[in-house]
Structure 1
């Protein structure tokens, strides 16, 4: 089963084609950053930013991206700059890519829940 790794984009490129970088400045990056104000007020912590990322992928437009992300990332290890002991959107992407079927909206919604 694919796993989450910590590193930068150059680290992912050096590993192999079985690893995709999903951190900042990648097409799979979480647009919601811990420490920055949330759309509703005070700064978010890591778990809140991951929850907001997952919620966005459950939305009407986000489901389209969720399906594309799942197809592109299926079977790959995912690398991000987040500490491994902290919540990370890569965990959401790992579950989405490796446990979902492309045609199951209900299953996708379940897999897009926040950190476990």
Structure 2
């Protein structure tokens, strides 16, 4: 089963073709940054940023991206800069791409339950 790893994009490239970097400045990056100022209140926590990422992928436009991400990342290890003991959007992507028996092209809303 694919796992989440911690590192930078160069680390993922050095590992193998079975590992994809999904952290900052990648096409799979979470646009909601923990600690960044929020227009609606205090800065987002890591958990809140992951929850917003998952919620966005459930939206009308996000579902299209969720299906594409799931197909592209299925069966691959995902690497991000986040600490392994904290919430990370890579957990959402892992769950999305690797849920057993999931039809990733049509049922993305069922796959986005957040990190486990």
TM-score under structure 1 length normalisation: 0.93
Corresponding residue pairs, total: 114
Question: Does residue 1:18 correspond to 2:21, yes or no?
Answer: no
For 1:20-35, what aligned pairs fall within 5 Å after superposition? Answer: 20-35=20-35
TM-score normalised by structure 2 residue count: 0.93
Task: Please tell me whether the aligned partners of residues 47 and 114 of structure 1 are also in contact (alpha carbons under 8 angstroms).
Answer: no
Structure 2 segments unaligned to the other structure (5+ residues): none
CA RMSD after TM alignment? 1.1
- Structure 1: state its 5+ residue gaps: none
Q: Which has the higher strand share?
A: 1
The alpha carbon displacement at 1:88 in A equals 0.2
Rounded Cα–Cα distance in structure 2 between residues aligned with 1:42 and 1:59: 24
- Partner of 2:104 in structure 1? 102
Match of 1:72 in 2: 72
Question: How far off is 1:39 after superposition?
Answer: 4.7
